[in-house]
Structure 1
Amino acid sequence: MKFTTAAIAATAASLVTALPTDSKIKDGDVFTIQTIRSGSDFQYSTFQAVQNSLVINAGQQNASCGPEPHNYASFQLSNGSLYLYTANPPQQFFVDRSGMGQGVIQYTTGAQPMVKNGERTTFAINDDGNLVFRDQTGEDIDFQACQPSLGGGYSVWLGGVTRPAGADECYGFIARAIKEENPTKCLYTQYP
């Protein structure tokens, strides 16, 4: 069977038009994060929110989500701020890139204050559909997964600092944002 360039182009165009046109994540959409790091034991894992931190493969996150188990975190962006998908009180993320924070990523609940050098408003979904943190120059900063972590697995940090907080091993990865069609509001755990 012989295929012409025109036939292949027409077939490709029909496949593209069959794909959902509203898959790009916008402010207010709810999404999960899938990790992409080929050859790692956390390839295609999801972010969890545990005791004010982001983790990967750390057992149960123990969020209060109703009767069904929910072992991944759901997120929303609003004007560059990253939130967990929850009812009141809101749970909002910050990053501390100072020498003291070394790229730590944590969340606060309600009126709980963030650290002195915390930054809240430069999270974004880039053109490739990945969650990133943008610095003052507009450069995208990816994430890294480091061991040890709460309850095993990996803790999530901003990329750029080798061995933050004395971590044994850290691996850069892509944080792919995936739109969630039927999200569940949860209240995620805080420090005891």
Structure 2
Amino acid sequence: MMLLQTISTLSLLVASAIAAPQKAPATFDVMALRSASPIHFAQVSAAKGGLFLNLPHSNATCEGKSSGHATLYIEGEELVLYSCKGEKQKVFVDRSGMGQGVVRYVTGEQALPRYAELKGWATDKNKNLNFKGTGFVACPHSIDDSWSLWLDVGLGQPGGNKGCLGFTARELENKKPVGCRYTQ
């Protein structure tokens, strides 16, 4: 009898856990902090498989009126773009000698580059985004005169860029995210 009650209780717990609504992820936008620079207070945008500051148009397809900035969330140490229903768009870094800290994203089951890393994203106690404790640099003269984002792997001027600046990537809570599918 006791075994039957235990099994019954466990069944109810499992059923309620399965039926419980999924908690929405904590979504946020990201703003660059670098005093006295052209990127200070610039927000991160996503387009053409990369992340940028001061990008005038992302050309994303959105489910409503978008701010033009990328909205993100962290799921199990992976950084995910808040996308339209369907395929996820996940952000990766390549810290290898070839990647030099490039920050990009893939859609769905798209193949990752050889040394791409998806897991390691976090925000610290001050709400600063990082990858395995490492911050970022932004490099000018990218698409539409924007600044491309790179992980700071100690190169200062990754990818042959000139004029790159280190910055703090501050998380800005976004309680009303708009799902978008960002261009590849």
Both proteins in one fold, TM over 0.5: yes
Using the alignment, how far apart are the partners of 2:45 and 2:74 within structure 1?
A: 17
Q: 2-side partners of 1:161 and 1:180: how far apart?
A: 32
Do the aligned partners of 2:64 and 2:178 also contact (CA within 8 Å) in 1? Answer: no
1:170 to 156, 164, 167: 164
TM-score calculated relative to the size of structure 2: 0.83
Deviation at 1:67, TM superposition (A): 4.8
Matched length = 159
Offset at 1:88? 1.3
Structure 1 SS opposite 2:143: coil
Give how far 1:153 is off: 1.6
Identity of aligned residues (%): 35
Give 4+ residue runs of structure 1 displaced > 2 Å after superposition: 66-70
Please tell me whether residue 144 in structure 1 is matched to residue 141 in structure 2.
no
Give the match's secondary structure for 1:151: helix
Instruction: Give the residue type in structure 1 aligned to 2:138.
Output: A
| Distance in 1 (alpha carbons) for counterparts of 2:93 and 2:134 | 11
Query: What do the CA deviations read for 1:61-103 (whole angstroms, capped 9, x no partner)?
Result: 1111145243100001011000000121100011000000000
Aligned to 1:127: 125
- Shift of residue 185 of structure 1? 0.5
Distance 1:61 1:162 in 2: 26
Q: Distance in 2 between matches of 1:91 and 1:67?
A: 18
Contiguous gaps of at least 5 residues in structure 2: 1-23
Aligned to 1:153: 146
Alignment match of 1:72 (pick from 50, 69, 86)? 69
**Are residue 29 (structure 1) and residue 29 (structure 2) matched?**
no
TM-score, normalised with respect to structure 1: 0.80
- Equivalent residue, structure 1, for 2:56: 59
Structure 1 counterpart of 2:145, one-letter code = G
Q: Give secondary structure in 2 for the equivalent of 1:144.
A: strand
Could you tell me how far apart the structure 1 residues matched to 2:92 and 2:111 are? 10
Q: Say which is worse superposed, 147-156 or 110-119, in terms of deviation.
A: 147-156
- State the distance in 2 between where 1:81 and 1:186 align: 18
Cα 1:93–1:69 shift into 2, 3 Å: closer
Q: For residues 77-131 of structure 1, what are the alpha-carbon distances to aligned partners after superposition, in whole Å with 9 as ceiling and x for unaligned?
A: 0110000001211000110000000000100001101100011100000111100
Q: Which has the larger radius of gyration?
A: 2
Residue 175 of structure 1 aligns with an amino acid whose one-letter code is A
Question: Which has more helix, going by share of residues?
Answer: 2
How far did 1:28 drift? 2.1
Alignment CA distance shift 1:180-1:69 (3 Å): closer
